[in-house]
Amino acid sequence: MVTDGSGTRDASATPGATLVAHLTTHGETLACAESLTAGLVAATVADTPGASAVLLGGVVAYSADVKVGLLDVSAGLLARVGTVDPRVAVAMAEGVRRRLGATWGVATTGVAGPGSSEGKPAGTVHVAVAGPSGTATRSLELNGTRAAIRSASVAAVLRLAVEETGATSPTPAPAADPRGTVGLSEPLDGDPAPGRTGPAT
């Protein structure tokens, strides 16, 4: 949550707005690596006025070649596990953080549907957040349309980013109304606890 000018918590603030407020306050930055969401995470963050202070940019890495070439994901890892795997999400988040020089890197990879891919059913999604103290991952099994799965993936990675950055603590909101994104403030039922790896070297 973020606060208004009086210090009152704004329960309607979205994860994107909460994240922007927190990173702005702490002088931190964000970079996005996206596969199935194809830029929706970055666009959602950018919906919040003042996002330019924290959002450095992003890489839409739909293909394996782009994951390898622009995000430094290991070709050997992709050959072993495919593109829909939590280890790939970790590598994407760490790669975009390193490549763009951001404090935090977030990543999404998965199957939006309607059919399966690489033997994984639609709704299989992995998200990751890389930061100064390491990388956290969360694996999801989502249901719904292609659009619903992509939207839920955006919500999940932003909520994980809020948790990992410590933005769950009340912080001042940006000067403008932060509620630029709709439909992302409600939690997904049954979100599993994130996994974690150590700092990237």
Q: How far is CA 125 from CA 89, 142, 191, in A?
A: 9, 7, 12
**Quick check: 201 pLDDT over 50?**
no
Beta strands in 113-184, from DSSP E residues, in sequence order = 124-131, 134-141, 171-172
Q: Which fold has domain 29-165?
A: Maf protein (3.90.950)
State residue 12's pLDDT score.
Answer: 54
DSSP designation for 53: G
Across residues 147-154, what is the average pLDDT? 98
41 pLDDT more than 90: yes
Model confidence at 168, pLDDT cuts 50, 70, 90, reads confident
Q: How open is the CA angle 173-179-184, to the nearest 5 degrees?
A: 115
Q: By the 8 A CB rule, do 71 and 61 touch?
A: yes
- pTM assigned to the model: 0.81
Start-to-end C-alpha separation, the chain: 32
